Amino acid sequence: MSRLPSPAINPPKIRVITLQIDGKDVGAREDETILEVAHENDIRIPTLCYLDGLSTWGACRLCVVEIEGSRKLHTACSTRVAEGMQVTTNSERLRRYRRTILELLFAERNHVCSVCVSNGHCELQDLAAECGMDHVRFSYRNAPYHVDPSHDLFRVDHNRCVLCTRCVRVCDEIEGAHTWDVMGRGVDCLVITDLNQPWGESSSCTACGKCVQVCPTGALTKKGTAAGEMEKHGSFLVYLTQMRGNR
């Protein structure tokens, strides 16, 4: 006895809503985030851990915005839009908050821009200039972090890591190797390969270089690059994500 075909299931309809960002009326789908809508309307919101093509992490807190009616700040990368929402992306409170975050990032590890291979091509450096961070008010930890040059092609300098986990996510979600992970808690966190083995001894690394290209600082770089020579290109992620979705 043949089975009757199951009735077609209509996908849920996604409503189009209207909200305000910095006083500007914009339209959006109700499944979008504030950050996505802002990008579509050429409204700049600073980010560090966010990268188009990777899952949302919401760790750096640089994309925080104000929403009318709420006393707390909200991360634009993970907050969905809503009908009638009024969002502020650039206020004195937000600028002060972002400068403080950047100062803490610089104070936590040893970011010496003048000798960094990513000098001039560093997202952390660019954000500091954009947000007006011209000095650090906090005491530097000056903790010793090691450099692992064991890989044939790349090196990792933990002094320059900001724990954005872009390397972890791209290795897992795009390459599918999950070589990278995070070890420890708080300021003692480190990105590690294969249960804290030297990168060059990793049995899962495919040497694709995706982690190096998405790193926003000089933490992951190619060998053979001198100060200011390491340029990175993370835009390939959108293409790879789209191609996988079309399979």
pTM of the predicted structure, to 2 decimals: 0.90
| Cβ-contact 199, 150 below 8 angstroms | yes
- Separation between Cα atoms, residue 164 and residue 142, nearest integer Å: 20
Q: How confident is the model at residue 244 (pLDDT cuts 50, 70, 90)?
A: low
Mean pLDDT throughout 197-217? 97
For 157, phi then psi, to 5°, come to -115, 105
**Count of domains for the chain:** 2
| Same domain? 63 vs 177 | no
| Same domain? 75 vs 183 | no
Q: Evaluate if residue 243 carries a pLDDT over 60.
A: yes
Structural domain that includes position 20: 16-90
| Same domain? 72 vs 108 | no
- For residue range 62-78, list pLDDT tens digits in order: 999 999 999 999 999 99
| Residue 168 burial class via C-beta count within 10 angstroms: exposed 0-12, middle 13-18, buried 19 and up | buried
Q: Given this model, what pLDDT does residue 10 score?
A: 67
| Same domain? 124 vs 226 | yes
| Same domain? 163 vs 198 | yes
Q: Evaluate if residue 232 carries a pLDDT over 80.
A: yes
| Same domain? 158 vs 209 | yes
| Same domain? 47 vs 110 | no
**Is the residue at 1 inside a domain?**
no
| Same domain? 38 vs 156 | no
| Same domain? 82 vs 29 | yes
Q: Evaluate if residue 229 carries a pLDDT over 60.
A: yes
Tell which of 73, 90, 107 closes a domain: 90
179-to-143, 146, 233 alpha-carbon distances in Å: 25, 19, 20
Tell which of 90, 122, 141 closes a domain: 90
Tell which of 40, 64, 90 closes a domain: 90
Give the CATH number for residue 56: 3.10.20.740
| Same domain? 231 vs 129 | yes
Q: Given this model, what pLDDT does residue 7 score?
A: 57
- For residue range 139-170, list pLDDT tens digits in order: 999 999 999 999 999 999 999 999 999 999 99
Helix (H), strand (E) counts: the chain = 6, 10
Q: Given this model, what pLDDT does residue 5 score?
A: 59
Q: Given this model, what pLDDT does residue 3 score?
A: 60
| Same domain? 223 vs 129 | yes
Q: Evaluate if residue 238 carries a pLDDT over 90.
A: no
